[in-house]
Homo-oligomer: A and B are copies of this chain.
Amino acid sequence: MSRWEPNARGRLEQAAMELYLERGFEQTTVEEIAKRAGLTERTFFRHFADKREVLFAGQAVVQEFLVSAVADAPEAAAPMDAVGAAFEAVGALFEERRESVRRRQAVVAANAELQERELIKLATLSSAIADMLRRRGVPDPAASLAAEAGVAVFRIAFERWVSDTSPRDLPYFIRESLDELKTLLLCLRLGESPGGS
């Protein structure tokens, strides 16, 4: 019964992504994914809890990568620099897997439930980054704000990158969004009446 299946996980991911794009996430069953990959359902469930996890398993790796990057930033790095550099690095990682990241995004964008799951995962990511900033001695609310700003910049940069057809890469869009956010806040005249005199 139990055979060694070379790269079973990768084959399942590949099969699932093909089917999600062909028929939609809702319409695809685990049975079909296993069949397309030439594997059994039992093998599927050895790797993934359900068909949704195929899309989100990678996020644990992304989170680990980001949190480590923030942890490893030079001690003197300002919080936003540590967070910005971490997201740029993850952007470069995504860029290397450009096609598979975009395929996954197309599946998520087509399904409201998956979009909600993505939001929840991003909130978890933001909390994990804020925790690491606190461990680096950044007080609140700065730690939470830097993490939230990083996630917001990444989300918006990612959307622009996905719909962009030029050769500009994801780290470019992350830098652009971070720079734009800086400009927006530089223009903020806190406490003065907006547009006054």
Say whether B189 contacts A81, CB under 8 Å: yes
The minimal Cβ–Cβ distance linking A154 to chain B, given in whole angstroms, is 10
Q: Does A167 contact B (CB under 8 A)?
A: no
For A101-123 the 0/1 string (1 means CB < 8 A from B) is 00000000000000010011001
Q: Helix, strand, loop or mixed for chain A's interface? A: helix
Q: How many of these chains are in the complex?
A: 2
Q: Does A141 contact B (CB under 8 A)?
A: yes
The range of chain A's interface size is 35 or more
- The interface stretch among A22-30, A43-51, A180-188 is A180-188
Say whether B185 contacts A74, CB under 8 Å: no
Task: Taking A78-B187, A119-B120, A149-B152 as given, write out 9 further A-B residue pairs in contact, using a Cβ cutoff of 8 Å, ordered by the A residue number.
Answer: A75-B195, A82-B194, A119-B119, A141-B156, A141-B180, A145-B177, A145-B184, A175-B190, A181-B185
Chain A residues with a Cβ under 8 A of chain B: 73-82, 84-85, 116, 119-120, 123, 140-142, 144-146, 148-149, 152-153, 155-157, 159-160, 175-191, 194-196
Q: List 16 A-B contacts (CB under 8 A).
A: A74-B196, A76-B195, A78-B188, A78-B189, A79-B184, A82-B194, A84-B194, A119-B120, A144-B159, A145-B156, A146-B184, A148-B152, A149-B152, A152-B152, A178-B188, A186-B186
